[in-house]
Structure 1
Amino acid sequence: MLLKAELHCHIEGAASPELVIAQAKKYGADVSPYIRDGSFVWHDFTSFLAAYDFASDLFRTEEDYARLSEHYLTALARDGAIYSEFFTSPDHAIKAGLSPQAYTDALGEGILRARAKTGIEGRMIVTGVRHVGVDAIERAARFAARCGHPLVTGFGVAGDERIGDFEDYVRAFEIAREAGLGITVHAGELMGWESVQAALDHIKPSRIGHGVRAIENPDLVKRIADDGVVLECCPGSNVALGVFPSFAEHPFPALRKAGCKVTLNSDDPPYFRTSLKREYDIAAEHFGMSDEELLGVTRTAIEAAFVDRKTKQALLAKLKGR
């Protein structure tokens, strides 16, 4: 089985419809507006966020969150993943009535359970949410910097790219960077190449979540390649959301050919009827990539991972063994 690694997945968005239905039964919620025939229902980015928030609100206790991360990472491992980083949201924790620390500890417990069962390594990237506001993003950064959880290794900003400016988030990222956390930021998905350039100019991340709209500016593509910034690409998500009309028009191959470091990721997998395995299958089928080239994508992800050197070396050794 081809070994895989993932750097870009929102843990609340990774809850399968089956798990969400089980949670809804637990809390007496009606899923019918959001789940039909075993699939999430939405028609644009705004309705996607509504479905996402509904499902997220069904995770309310520490055990709920531990179950969520264990469930997701165990499924990933079955498909050949040896490493996963997922985004967490203190704002979801607060909305659920948990402290960010209890929420993070619970997700960490799920990571440890999955590792004990399958051997998969997992880490957490704390995120602020753009459409919640600048103050909330800075609170998230301060939490990430001080929480002390050994599996929290990065900080990022996600949410609706149409809201806010990167220069507003500089202080939040300074807080995280000073604490030694890895830095990634969503850009170049809903918004154009300018958002990627602004992220590079103001935030200076080592990784960009999505970043694919950079293809609209050849000079920016060259800058990304020259600087070695890693792009967390999510082709299935991009096509599902209409960022690109088809896989034939997705820029993953062009970015790779231009020398950009690219990785494959599932984003919010059940919402886009995808999985990490399907993303690798898409790359093989639509981008013509061989198993050796796909293993190279896995290697790029592990080399870019926000993880300690010893763990990184152990993961790279697993790739060499194949």
Structure 2
Amino acid sequence: MNFRDIPKVELHTHLEGSAPPAFIAGLAREKNIDISGIFDAQGGYAFRDFDHFLQVYEAACTTLQSPEDFRRLTLAVLEETAAHGVVYMETFVSPDFCGGGDVAAWRDYLAAMQDAADEAERTMGITLRGIVTGIRHFGPDQCKIAAACAAETKGDFITGFGMAGGEMVGRPGDYAYSFDMAREAGLQLTAHAGEWGGPSMVAETIRDLKVARIGHGIGAIDDPKLMAEIADKGIVLEVCPGSNVVLKAVSGWDAHPIAKLRDAGVPVTVSTDDPPFFHTTMTDEYDMLAKTFGWGADDFRALNKIALDAAFCDDETRARVAKRLEPKDE
């Protein structure tokens, strides 16, 4: 089965983390920035563990210094993503890396990203929506600044608010003000939880931040009552198996709980997270799910339906994307 050609919906990506390493290395050369230490001998990103991954990620972001850099980045990412059959993609974008939280500067960066997204929709048939993201390990006050940027720029392109970064910094309730601000602005909500923090972190995130989706969420597997609650409430997990394997959140593909979560009635989706960091693509994710769990075309169609239903987009966009997901022989 050719998994590359299956049309796909992807909900959990980080725009900066999706940057091809050659693209970041090229920007570094243009700007005379020495970040050679973040690459391996083959030119890929090199990191030891999750904490080091965050350091390498933030070092790569130092090359992204202008709206034009982000326009080029967005086009490069969408070209690579579309090549693997993705027809709708949501990506986390942080004002911290786009003007440092200044709303006027953020608008300029956002306009450049949206311009690239519009071009990609015309030329590549992929739709992009943005989720403004607070960086958890930067602290609650900085997260409030990100939420204010999100609230000021909600629209056709910016449709959600979320939180990423170091999951073990603070508790979800520390960031409730930011999520309340985003909710009042009409943004849809997601947050990373349960990648490292276990079921209690997932439960607190659902209770205190009132999110519709959870990024990763795999720690829920250790609490049957929590899984039942997630299933009952229809909270969707943005699962990134390849990322979890590389970062050693799980011991390997065979140990990944995605199939057990799905069997328990938990709505799961599949995404790549930061694909070049984890040497993955959506094609690779589908291939490994097929090899590990025996999933086939019907399973992937079901995953994509869940993802599209959970997407942070309007009904018109959802209907347009649904047509792209229809099998070509129908």
TM-score after normalising by structure 1:
0.97
Return the offset for 1:148.
4.3
Is 1:206 matched with 2:212? yes
- In structure 2, the partner of 1:84 is 89
Alignment of 1:219-298 (within 5 A): 219-298=225-304
Match of 1:72 among 64, 77, 92: 77
Match of 2:18 among 14, 24, 46: 14
Return the offset for 1:29.
2.0
Return the offset for 1:193.
0.9
1:279-312 CA-to-partner distances (Å, cap 9, x unmatched) read 1222111121001211211111111000010110
Amino acid at match of 1:73: L
Amino acid at match of 1:4: K
Amino acid at match of 2:180: E
- In structure 1, the partner of 2:45 is 40
1:166-189 CA-to-partner distances (Å, cap 9, x unmatched) read 111111111111111110010000
Is 1:150 matched with 2:160? no
CA distance in 2, matches of 1:50, 1:205: 27
CA distance in 2, matches of 1:252, 1:7: 16
Alignment of 1:75-114 (within 5 A): 75-95=80-100, 99-114=105-120
Q: How many residues align?
A: 322
1:143-199 CA-to-partner distances (Å, cap 9, x unmatched) read 111124420000001110110111111111111111111100100001111100001
Which residues of structure 1 form unaligned runs of 5+? Answer: none
- In structure 2, the partner of 1:133 is 139
Return the offset for 1:256.
0.5
Of stretches 67-76 and 250-259 in structure 1, the one that deviates more from structure 2 is: 67-76
CA contact (8 A) 1:59 1:96 kept: no
CA distance in 2, matches of 1:13, 1:111: 17
Identity over aligned pairs, percent: 39
Amino acid at match of 2:323: A
CA contact (8 A) 1:57 1:96 kept: no
CA distance in 2, matches of 1:94, 1:117: 29
CA distance in 2, matches of 1:95, 1:53: 13
CA contact (8 A) 1:224 1:260 kept: yes
CA distance in 1, matches of 2:154, 2:313: 15
Over aligned residue pairs, what C-alpha RMSD do you find?
1.4
1:60-99 CA-to-partner distances (Å, cap 9, x unmatched) read 1111100111111121111111100000000111359982
- In structure 2, the partner of 1:318 is 324
Return the offset for 1:318.
2.4
CA contact (8 A) 2:66 2:98 kept: no
CA distance in 2, matches of 1:126, 1:96: 11
CA distance in 2, matches of 1:147, 1:220: 34
Amino acid at match of 2:325: L
CA contact (8 A) 1:236 1:272 kept: yes
CA distance in 2, matches of 1:200, 1:149: 25
CA distance in 1, matches of 2:147, 2:283: 31
CA distance in 2, matches of 1:286, 1:135: 42
Is 1:163 matched with 2:169? yes
Of stretches 91-100 and 157-166 in structure 1, the one that deviates more from structure 2 is: 91-100
Aligned to 2:238, what secondary structure does the other structure show?
strand
Aligned to 2:75, what secondary structure does the other structure show?
helix
Amino acid at match of 2:141: D
Return the offset for 1:220.
0.6
CA distance in 2, matches of 1:41, 1:170: 34
Amino acid at match of 2:146: A
Which residues of structure 2 form unaligned runs of 5+? Answer: none
Aligned to 2:98, what secondary structure does the other structure show?
helix
CA contact (8 A) 1:142 1:176 kept: yes
Return the offset for 1:319.
2.1
